Amino acid sequence: MTDLYARHRRVLPDWLALYYDDPIEISHGEGRYVWDSAGRRYLDFFGGILTTLTAHALPEVTKAVSEQAARIIHSSTLYLNRPMVELAERVAQVSGIPDARVFFTTSGTEANDTALLLATTYRRSNTLLAMRNSYHGRSFSAIGITGNRAWSPTSLSPLQTLYVHGGVRTRGPFAHLDDRAFIDACVADLKDLLGHTRPPAALIAEPVQGVGGFTSPPDGLYAAFRQVLRDHGILWIADEVQTGWGRTGDHFWGWQAHARSGPPDIVTFAKGIGNGMSVGGVIARAEIMNCLDAQSISTFGGTQVTMAAALANLAYLLEHDLQGNARRVGGLLIERLRAVGAQLPGVREVRGRGLMIGVELVRPGTDEADPQALAAVLEAAREGGLLIGKGGGHDTSALRITPPLSLTVAEAEEGAALLEHALRSTY
């Protein structure tokens, strides 16, 4: 492992983040577990940053990949592609967007780039609204709309971005308000902001902020925003890269918590749909998707082998009601972690829905973020056999917990016990 780490450091960028003081190499996985190259088994509560949506080495997906790879792996979008058409039909059907068109990419970053291209072209404006504490990818344009300083290496951008209140419920100037008053204050802030600028092209928002530490507004905030946006002709882009496909349990899409306003104009997705394969995409009404007046292709977006994987994964997800499992098992896990957190002075909040759970850590007796404790808990959890993630904004430190949606009750209890031990060993 030491040799591989040294080789990594010699040829890869210094800014390419690695977890743990002694980084691990994951060699294989099965179900909700993975093994490192030394043979150590871990319960995976992060799923490759939410990419392993159903299970590691899911037989239905590995079979689909193997069979498709034996025929043809890739031909580009210059040729008809049956798996791509079939998956686009399924995605359009479950999207909730009328007359939907689907474009496939290789990542969530690329999906958000495409959504920005569509919105700015359709609206003929390079001004964007985004949420504070947000994250939308690592490309130049995606960084330009990211409201999280830790993931924003440059202030240069082709876009003018204006940041809106509301993505973080329990911090900021409106945190003391009840949910209704919080929404009203955020809407008033949005209206005031729009009074000072030319009409933006779109608002892009994660229904639950992922890298930001799994924070979210009260249900209904984006529906209230939508009424204001419509008055100005502004589009709504829902970034579902982390929240889509039933992960939040209560809904198939995160935007459905704000559904009284109807579906977004554009939805972006990635990560879990491919169950580890590189799949992203954009869903939009035909008039928006078709607004580009130049030709385009995607060399690797929608390859036959990734589409076959996503088709098998989506079918398994729906046929086995993994959204329902996320709601049931996730609900138990959240309550178990809240009971633990209530006993520890360093746990400020356990939040989330379904199998998308954040545990915010602070210095005991304060409201200040505690990145040192966060790192210590991450290390202690790994030592105990549990892999978890981390996130947060400029003033927060949060553990991120996102197991595959097939997690069992017994595995949830096992993971909760391991995390409790890691937290108690730190505080």
Determine the Cα–Cα distance for residues 371 and 366; give it in Å rounded to an integer: 14
**Side chain identity at residue 88, one-letter code:** A
- Three-state DSSP at 414 gives helix
Encoding tokens for residue 266?
């554009």
Beta bridge partners of 204: 130, 237
**In degrees, to the nearest 5, what angle opens at C-alpha 101 toward C-alphas 158 and 243?**
70
Please give the distance of CA 207 from its chain centroid, rounded to a whole number: 9
Contact (CB, 8 A) for 163 and 143: no
Chain length of the chain: 427
Residue 366 CB: number of other CB atoms within 10 A?
Answer: 11
Determine the Cα–Cα distance for residues 133 and 147; give it in Å rounded to an integer: 5
- In Å, the largest CA–CA distance within the chain is 62
Determine the Cα–Cα distance for residues 288 and 119; give it in Å rounded to an integer: 7
Task: Please give the mean pLDDT across all residues of the chain.
Answer: 96
- Three-state DSSP at 419 gives helix
The side-by-side arrangement of strands in the sheet containing 26-30 is: 26-30, 33-36, 41-44, 386-387
pLDDT value, residue 259: 80
pLDDT value, residue 223: 96
- Three-state DSSP at 252 gives coil
Counting as low any pLDDT under 70, the low residues of the chain are 1
Give one DSSP letter per residue of 174-235, joined into a string. TTTS-HHHHHHHHHHHHHHHHTTSSPPSEEEE-SSBTTTTSB-PPTTHHHHHHHHHHHTT-E
pLDDT value, residue 1: 57
Tokens 């007359």 — which residue? 99
Q: For residue 410, what are the contacts with CB-CB under 8 A and spacing of at least 6?
A: none
Determine the Cα–Cα distance for residues 273 and 245; give it in Å rounded to an integer: 7
Determine the Cα–Cα distance for residues 58 and 52; give it in Å rounded to an integer: 10
Question: Hey, what domains does the chain have and what are their CATH numbers?
Answer: 2-57+321-426 (3.90.1150.10), 62-319 (3.40.640.10)
What 8-state DSSP symbol labels residue 100?
A: E
pLDDT value, residue 190: 97
Determine the Cα–Cα distance for residues 252 and 160; give it in Å rounded to an integer: 32
Q: In whole angstroms, how far apart are CA 343 and each of 99, 340, 372?
A: 51, 6, 20
Encoding tokens for residue 252?
């198939």
Encoding tokens for residue 273?
């749909």
Give one DSSP letter per residue of 279-338, joined into a string. -EEEEEEHHHHTT--S----SSTT-HHHHHHHHHHHHHHHHTTHHHHHHHHHHHHHHHHH
pLDDT value, residue 154: 85
Residue 147 CB: number of other CB atoms within 10 A?
Answer: 21
